[in-house]
C-alpha cells in the first residue's frame, strides 16, 4: 500500500472511531488538526507523511478518551503495522502521539520538528472561536460549571490535579488556553495563534462584563 492510501485508510478508521465523541475531541477536531498540521509541515518543509499520520492518530491514545491507555497504544501500533507503515516510521509516529499532550504543563519537551508541528496544530485548535466552543463542550462533559468565582486559578499542577481537580470552563482559559500562544514552536503556528489568542481575550472581557451585570 502506498503512503497516500495509508493516509486515506487511516482517516476513515479514525473518522468511524471518533465521529460521535462528545468532549470536543471528535472527528472534526482531528480533521482540523490534520489540515493545519499538513499546512505547517509544507511551510516548514517537514516530513508530511509522518505529520499527517500522527495528526490523525493523536487522540486515539489520549487518557481523556480511553480507559486503558496501554491497550489503546497497542491498537494503534497494530493498525500501523497492518496498513504497512515501516517499523521506523511507526516508531516516529508513536513517539509523537505519546509526547504532545499538555498534561497541565507537565508534558514532555519535544525535539523533533514533526512532533512540534503536530503539537502546534493541536494547540491551535484549542484556542480562538473553536477553542472556546471546545472548552465549554469539554467542561460540560466533565460536569464542570461555566464559571465558579469561589475557585482560584491553579498553577504548577501535577498531571492528576490538572485532570481531576476542581475547575470551571473559564478557569481553563487561565490554566491552559491563554498559555498556548507562547508555547508554539513554528513560525506559522505563532502567526496563526495571534488572532485566536486576541479573540479569547476579547471574549473573556465580554464574559466578565455580562457576569458582573
Average the pLDDT over 80-91 and give the result: 97
Q: What is the pLDDT of residue 22?
A: 85
The structural domains of the chain, with segments of one domain joined by +, span 3-212
Q: What is the pLDDT of residue 107?
A: 63
What is the distance between the alpha carbons of residues 129 and 198, in angstroms, rounded to a whole number? 10
Tens digit of each residue's pLDDT (9 = 90 or more) over 16-60 = 999 888 888 999 999 999 999 999 999 999 999 999 999 999 999
Mean pLDDT of the chain: 93
What is the distance between the alpha carbons of residues 58 and 126, in angstroms, rounded to a whole number? 14
What is the distance between the alpha carbons of residues 171 and 49, in angstroms, rounded to a whole number? 37
22 burial class (0-12, 13-18, 19+ CB within 10 angstroms)? Answer: exposed
Domain 3-212: which CATH number of 3.40.50.2300, 1.10.3210.50, 3.40.50.800, 1.10.1530.10: 1.10.3210.50
Is residue 109 pLDDT above 80, yes or no? Answer: no
Is residue 130 pLDDT above 90, yes or no? Answer: yes
Q: What is the pLDDT of residue 58?
A: 95
Alpha-carbon Rg for the chain in angstroms: 17
Q: What is the pLDDT of residue 108?
A: 67
Is residue 105 pLDDT above 60, yes or no? Answer: no
Tens digit of each residue's pLDDT (9 = 90 or more) over 185-197 = 999 999 999 999 9
Q: Using an 8 Å Cβ cutoff, are 104 and 159 in contact?
A: yes
Amino acid at each position: 500500500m502506498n503512503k497516500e492510501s495509508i493516509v486515506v485508510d487511516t482517516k476513515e478508521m479514525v473518522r468511524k472511531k471518533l465521529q460521535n465523541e462528545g468532549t470536543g475531541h471528535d472527528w472534526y477536531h482531528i480533521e482540523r488538526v490534520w489540515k493545519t498540521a499538513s499546512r505547517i509541515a509544507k511551510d516548514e518543509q517537514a516530513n508530511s507523511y509522518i505529520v499527517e499520520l500522527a495528526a490523525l492518530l493523536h487522540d486515539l491514545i489520549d487518557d481523556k478518551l480511553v480507559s486503558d491507555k496501554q491497550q489503546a497504544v497497542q491498537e494503534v501500533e497494530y493498525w500501523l503495522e497492518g496498513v504497512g507503515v515501516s517499523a521506523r516510521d511507526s516508531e516516529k509516529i508513536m513517539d509523537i502521539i505519546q509526547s504532545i499532550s499538555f498534561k497541565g504543563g507537565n508534558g514532555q519537551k519535544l525535539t523533533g520538528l514533526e512532533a512540534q508541528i503536530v503539537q502546534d496544530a493541536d494547540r491551535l485548535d484549542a484556542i480562538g472561536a473553536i477553542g472556546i466552543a471546545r472548552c465549554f463542550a469539554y467542561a460540560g462533559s466533565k460536569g464542570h460549571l461555566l464559571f465558579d468565582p469561589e475557585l482560584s486559578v491553579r498553577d504548577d499542577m501535577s498531571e492528576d490535579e490538572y485532570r481531576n481537580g476542581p475547575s470551571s470552563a473559564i478557569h481553563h482559559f487561565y490554566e491552559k488556553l491563554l498559555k498556548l500562544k507562547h508555547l508554539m514552536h513554528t513560525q506559522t503556528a505563532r502567526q496563526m495563534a495571534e488572532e485566536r489568542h486576541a479573540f479569547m481575550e476579547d471574549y473573556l472581557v465580554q464574559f466578565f462584563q455580562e457576569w458582573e451585570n
